[in-house]
Chain A
Amino acid sequence: MAQITPEVVLSYTKPASGYLCPLNANTFGIEFLKFEIKEYDTNTVVYQVAREPDSEPLPEVLDPEIEDMIRSVKYTFPASFLKFKTVRTLLEFCVGPQPVSNLRMIERHFFKDKLVRTYDFEFGFCIPNSTNSWEAIYDVPEYPAGVINDYVTSPWAHKSDSFYFVDNKLIMHNKAEYQYVQD
């Protein structure tokens, strides 16, 4: 299998099929502890999930269904989310006893198999045994009414791949699907 590099995933024109690295590629013990999405202006929480770090490592062999449960998320958002002007996202994660030299996240969003957005962020170095956070406050472009309607009437057509690299080597790959419901 060809090496999956940032350049490779940035060239994808539709969602990846399957997971491009095994769960145990994450030899750094990177674990997500919290993820939060808020509307900035009203401080309204749209999505929030938090967990404690794993007390035990995952077993070597996992049932594919269980692996999918761990690696993919289905989000249901209110349609009003598509009208927010400014969004605040918060990601909290911890790392294991080894230093992580160059952590980079690339997230690709597709709607109906067309690329709609790319997030590319370099965290850089992570201190051994540290807990870190990244909070981003960003303006969302205004969607035309027709586009919003298209998202609402096409549940799960919005998909994303999140890739995490350490020194340009893929160590984590997760997926998400989204649906928007009228509120």
Chain B
Amino acid sequence: MRVLMVGLDNAGKTTIVKRLNGEDITTISPTLGFNIKTMSFKGYKLNIWDIGGQKTLRPYWRNYYEKTDALIWVVDSADLARLEDCRAELHNLLREERLFGATLLIFANKQDIASALPVAELEKALNIGSITKRHCRVVACSAVDGSGLLEGFDFVVHDISSRIYLFS
């Protein structure tokens, strides 16, 4: 299963993948390219492509859409100043034909921060209601305390596997 993980810079993409594996997350530097993680999760083999989110890197995201089974969009729920930027980039991505069939998980990350926007408000700000015609879920999480991560990845592998089963 090929999982593409994108979102604005500093959203916590790399930290989420590391935390999922119980790795040290004290020093994580900005991703200046990609980090691929090949691992098994609940008996499924995952290839997670975590691509850097800096503005200069975003035009290259398109090179990673091919064969994507699931898209994980990571949001820094406490970065209120860039929510509009985040909404625009997400909806841009969803217009991409090569991603039409992909499961969509939105991680509302950094929920451990007091000023983080709760999921309901985040959904409004990101206009999640307008996303139809695809399997989509928003999951509150914190890469720091690990909450929500399993729930999110569970959804991803179940959704992909049910689809694969349907077509085989």
Contacts and interface: CB of A to CB of B under 8 A. Distances in A.
A138 B38 contact: yes
Given A124-B63, A125-B63, A127-B57, A132 B35 contact: yes
B68 to A, nearest CB: 11
A133 B38 contact: no
B36 to A, nearest CB: 4
Contact of A137 (B32, B33, B40, B66): B40
Query: DSSP class of A's interface residues: helix, strand, loop or mixed?
Result: strand
Interface in B1-55: 21, 32-40, 52
B67 to A, nearest CB: 9
Contacts of B52: 127, 130
Nearest to B18: A135
Query: DSSP class of B's interface residues: helix, strand, loop or mixed?
Result: mixed
B34 A132 contact: yes
Interface residues of A, number: 19
Given A124-B64, A125-B64, A135 B57 contact: no
A127 B60 contact: yes
A143 interface: no
A130 B36 contact: no
Given A124-B64, A125-B60, A127-B57, A134 B33 contact: no
Interface in A117-132: 121, 123-127, 129-132
B38 A135 contact: yes
Contacts of A134: 35-36, 38
A127 B57 CA distance: 8
Contacts of B63: 124-125, 127
A142 B60 CA distance: 41
A131 B32 contact: yes
Contacts of B37: 135-137
Given A137-B21, A137-B40, A132 B64 contact: no
A73 to B, nearest CB: 22
A132 B33 contact: yes
Contact of B33 (A130, A136, A138, A139): A130
Interface of B: 21, 32-40, 52, 57, 60, 63-64, 66
Given A135-B38, A136-B38, A137-B38, 19 more contacts: A94-B33, A123-B36, A124-B64, A125-B63, A125-B64, A126-B34, A127-B34, A129-B32, A130-B57, A132-B33, A132-B36, A133-B34, A136-B37, A137-B21, A137-B37, A137-B39, A137-B40, A138-B40, A139-B40
24 contacts: A95-B33, A124-B63, A124-B64, A127-B34, A127-B57, A127-B60, A127-B63, A130-B32, A130-B34, A130-B57, A131-B32, A131-B33, A132-B33, A132-B36, A133-B35, A133-B36, A134-B35, A134-B38, A135-B35, A135-B37, A135-B38, A137-B21, A137-B37, A138-B38
Sorted nearest first, the 10 A-B pairs with minimum C-beta distance are A130-B33, A125-B63, A132-B33, A136-B38, A137-B39, A134-B36, A127-B60, A133-B35, A131-B32, A132-B34
